């Protein structure tokens, strides 16, 4: 990305950070605002995924890492920019969640829980910032062809290419949609999942294919 922007003659700043390190994010935000002013758009896109088993004690540390990155990472990324955006009276905060946050997927307790929490966290932020001029956008993509999904050994319906997904996400953010589920086919599927009775959901998904346990993606 650095080389691409340089070839296009675009200026900017690059920070290599861990989104679970709030102090580093604060310092980077202060430096950025000092150099360029308050940004119009901040996107929280960092996320990791791995299969987990609720009965294995070794997976507890993995569960915590996923939650810290996928949930705390959003809050820590946005926090330094909220006050400056409110003071200016404009700006957009866009968080990338997932359709996996609408129901608990077997073998993906950590990932589903983290994305569900991310959706709720962003909703809370949106209500807090209502009327301030600052918009909060929640984007819930379905499957996207990336290294994170390449390890999946099961059918992934409505999977999108990375470029296609990026364009759809960009349009949702530009329109400042409160909640955008992409692609539209996955939006329909998620609506069905959310209203499916618990007893039926349990029966149908008990034998659903599961993401392999292993390295974080």
Asked if 111 is an active-site residue, the reply is yes
End-to-end CA distance of the chain: 20
pLDDT at 217: 47
Residues 6+ apart with CB under 8 A from 83: none
Is the pTM higher than 0.85?
A: yes
* Domains present along the chain, CATH in parentheses: 38-205 (3.40.50.720)
Q: Which pLDDT tens digit goes with each residue over 73-98?
A: 999 999 999 999 999 999 999 999 99
- The active-site residue, picked from 111, 143, 154, 201, is 111
DSSP per-residue codes, 86-129: HHHT-EEEEEE--GGGSS--TT-HHHHHHHHHHHHHHHHHHHHT
| 98 within 8 A of 141, measured Cβ to Cβ | yes
């Amino acid at each position: 990305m650095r080389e691409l922007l340089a070839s296009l003659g675009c200026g900017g700043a690059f920070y290599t950070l861990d989104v679970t390190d709030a102090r580093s994010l604060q310092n980077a935000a202060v430096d950025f605002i000092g150099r360029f002013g308050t940004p119009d758009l901040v996107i929280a896109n960092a996320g990791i995924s791995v299969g987990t088993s609720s009965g294995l004690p070794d997976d507890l540390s993995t569960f915590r890492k996923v939650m810290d990155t996928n949930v705390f990472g959003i809050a820590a990324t946005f926090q330094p920019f909220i006050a400056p955006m409110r003071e200016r009276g404009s700006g957009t905060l866009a968080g990338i969640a997932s359709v996996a946050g609408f129901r608990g997927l077997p073998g993906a307790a950590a990932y589903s829980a983290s994305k569900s929490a991310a959706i709720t966290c962003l909703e809370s932020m949106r209500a807090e910032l209502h009327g301030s001029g600052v918009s909060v956008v929640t984007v819930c993509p379905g499957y996207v062809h990336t290294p994170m999904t390449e390890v999946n050994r099961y059918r992934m319906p409505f999977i999108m290419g990375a470029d296609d997904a990026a364009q759809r996400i960009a349009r949702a953010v530009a329109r400042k949609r409160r909640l955008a589920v992409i692609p539209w086919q996955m939006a329909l599927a998620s609506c069905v999942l959310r209203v499916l009775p618990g007893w039926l959901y349990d029966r149908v998904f008990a034998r659903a294919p599961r993401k392999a346990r292993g390295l974080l993606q």
